[in-house]
A and B are shown apart, each in its own frame.
Chain A
Amino acid sequence: MKILKAGLQTLMMASAATMVALPIIVVCAAALNGGRSMLFPPQDPTLARFGEFFLTEPVWKNALMHSIFIAFASAAVAVLIAWPVAWWLWRYNSRWSKTMATITSMPFALPPIVFGVGLGFMWAFADLLGTIFAGIVSHALLLVALPVATISIGLQSIDKSHIDAAHTMGATEAVTLRTVILPLTLPYTVSGFFFTLILSFNEFIVMFFVSASAYSTVTLQIFNSLRNGFTPTMAVGAITFIAASILVFGLIARFGDLPGLMGADQARR
């Protein structure tokens, strides 16, 4: 009976994992196609598409560069915006600090298409539509809710007596922030940075409305050529992105507290 139950559970978990992995595996295999069409199983397996994506075709090379640059820059901007917001929320927990947190979470909570359309209008008025700057700020605003959440979790996990201890040893509030609170919440800040990075990397809806034709990211490039169908070179992009996600989340899991970040046990002290 026990063995049967355990077997059923394992079977369920395994089939769920297979279902999640199936389209990803199919895409990875499709990257090996020799021809221009996406066939599964792949025909004339070759690694030439990898060369095209990373080296020879400037469209993809540039798009990848833009993706990486925008992802890092917007993650940095998002963390810089998120820190004061999360700090005020934790330190004062006042009406306005809660309002700030709510407003900064709005772009992420509401359908991104609406925010994207609005950002398109806003950058058009500012005459910045199509600039990389607009792309970075747009992604930072869209995703700032993530670092606000992770940093808030980090701040709440601090044992308050650490702060009291710093004060009794002569630390002012600013010194305590620098020497105790920032180092203790560093893993959470870094996690927030990388969450933002990965989501920016994969985002294309908002980018579609703010990018014009001056530049394009990998996902946007695929989105724009959607009507012509998918090609195996795009599948190489997919592999790159999956690898980046697994790497980043694997690192967060290794050096941070992933179950805690996902809210498993905030009640635990």
Chain B
Amino acid sequence: MPGVSLQQINKQFGNDTAVSPTDLEFNDGELTALLGPSGCGKTTLIRMIAGLETPSGGRILLDGQNITDQPAHIRRFGMVFQSFALFPHLTVTDNVGYSLKINGVGKEQREQRAQELLDLVQMPQFGKRRIGELSGGQRQRVAIARALAQQPSIFLLDEPMSALDAKLREEMQVELRLLQQRLGITTIVVTHDQREAMTMADRIVVMKKGQVEQVGTPDEIYNNPASLFVASFIGKANFINGIIRRGTVIVGNNELATADKPGFIDGSSVTLFSRPERCRIVDNTGENTMRGEVTYVRNVGSLFEYHLTTDIGPLIIEKPNLQGNSPITKGQQILVQLPADSIKTFPALAA
């Protein structure tokens, strides 16, 4: 049984389309990430699910029931905001107990529940503090506890990590994912950070300009992007322009074999996509090998990134840092192979 389903949901602001008619299913107990660049409509979408924004058309179903016309305070989906939106005039305990208080739960029960939640987010000692006395990470934990206090049927997070610094962000991503799995709560996270989406999500919805580009597991999205946009937005990739001739792709003077055989007619322009870590450094020429000169070596710590100039244009390849220093240096000539099964072919963008 699906948790939430959207049917032809859309949103117009004046003449501008924030979200084009969209169908989406958010499965029970799953964590789904809405991923896309700024202005892609992901925040509008989560706000419509929360009931904070009225859709211009379409329906929202919760366990098969139409809730499109329910206002936010009836739906009561817990939500964590980008700024956390903790009330500065209340203590941590009162913030966490807010939803219970306004729904008439007694003080004792309220405080007990707040304490349980603070234990859950590993902040048992902080109940009496004021919001102004907390660090960014602590505020986020309180915001999560507060959103969960009402035992929501759906848990929504709008860019929950963007106010945290890089190191804390990665820790919180893992922690939030573990918490979500423990509670088994249907969760939707809005993010513009593909690493965050890959880390946490069961499924990722990639959006662009108000439209869904691809829905899939992190593996599917990463290895089998449905479009050039998804391919470029998720992770690093090499893009090579070429022309189809008799089943192979001609790039300059080179002929590249590809594993996927989409039905392109001869002479059509295509763009090839290949992940840097799938490119190989080889000793002998063979299928899809070419000569390249190293122009730049980037040490990322766990791996080395080599920028090459080749006959088919610039390439980036990645190799794990196994010995502690790079076996290849700037200026060196190497042979590089793009395995046929690592290449995906897309129709070239109409330039």
Contact = CB atoms under 8 A, between A and B. Distances in A.
A225 interface: no
Contact of B50 (A168, A184, A186): A168
A10 B115 CA distance: 55
Contacts of B88: 184
B78 A166 contact: no
A104 to B, nearest CB: 28
A170 B75 CA distance: 8
Contacts, number: 73
A159 B71 contact: no
Contacts of A186: 89
Contacts of A175: 73, 102
A169 B76 contact: yes
- Point out which of A164, A172, A179, A183 has the most chain B C-beta atoms below 10 A from its C-beta: A164
Given A179-B102, A183-B89, A167 B72 contact: yes
Interface in A171-209: 171-172, 175, 179-180, 183-184, 186
A169 B102 contact: yes
Interface in B160-188: none
Nearest to B53: A164
A162 B102 contact: no
B85 A161 contact: yes
A165 interface: yes
B192 interface: no
B52 interface: yes
B286 to A, nearest CB: 57
A159 B72 contact: no
Which of A179, A183, A184 has the most chain B CB atoms closer than 10 A to its own CB?
Answer: A179
Interface of B: 47, 50-52, 71-79, 81-83, 85, 87-89, 98-99, 101-103, 146-147, 149-150, 156
The 9 closest A-B pairs by CB, nearest first: A169-B99, A167-B72, A161-B85, A165-B85, A168-B79, A183-B89, A161-B81, A170-B76, A170-B73
Interface of A: 159, 161-162, 164-172, 175, 179-180, 183-184, 186
